[in-house]
A and B are shown apart, each in its own frame.
Chain A
Amino acid sequence: IVLTQSPGTLSLSPGDTAILSCRASQSVRNNYVTWYQQKPGQAPRLLIYRASSRATGIPDRFSASGSGTDFTLTINRLEPEDFAVYYCQQFGTSPFDFGQGTRLEI
């Protein structure tokens, strides 16, 4: 399954709303899509699992939805610490590939 994320780069300001897309080349079994945030020099951090469930400790500004082949991560009221790279990944079918990432920049 190929995951295509769009846009590649998203330029926004603090307080704005970010909408990130992840489209799969075929339906993801059980909607097993996760979203990660990665900052420079750090390992990725789990944000969302099973397409729409927030991981422990993730603010409710982060929300996600989707099913089948189309998945969306929404970040409301952007904070300065939200500017990072975001990846989606599917665990429906091996190989468990990632999307190419969306860079969210100020």
Chain B
Amino acid sequence: QAQLVSSGGGVIQPGRSLRLSCVGSEIDFSGHGMHWVRQGRGKGLEWVGLIWYDGSKTYYTDSVKGRFTISRDNSKKTVSLQMDSLRAEDTGIYYCAKYDGTPAAYDIWGQGMLVTVSS
């Protein structure tokens, strides 16, 4: 069964760093862009950023530019989100998602990881 398995969430103090990862299973990982989406408690979905299929380009939403970095290792079918200088407003559930260009949509989502930024 095609899936993305996430890891790395937890409670972290403001200003500290945290790294989230997603591992693909039974998917064509290296042929697709990978995105990160987050959701604050009781709030809507927010697009965080993306990395191209080959890792050559990344894009981020303005609120995380300069603090978050997306990377990938296609040999390990893994995409990561390095989050630095964390703020309370970064608290939420973080999802990785596989982008398929044919439907132009996310066809597979990770299960989500809770990140809580609090002192």
Contact = CB atoms under 8 A, between A and B. Distances in A.
Chain B: interface size category: 20 to 34
A96 B45 contact: no
A55 B62 CA distance: 30
Given A43-B95, A87-B44, A101-B44, A95 B105 contact: no
A62 interface: no
A53 interface: yes
A48 to B, nearest CB: 8
Contacts of B106: 34, 36, 44, 46
Contacts of B59: 94-95
Interface of B: 35, 37, 44-47, 50, 59, 61-62, 95, 99, 103-107, 109-112
Interface of A: 30, 32, 34, 36, 38, 43-46, 49-50, 53, 55, 85, 87, 89, 91, 94-101
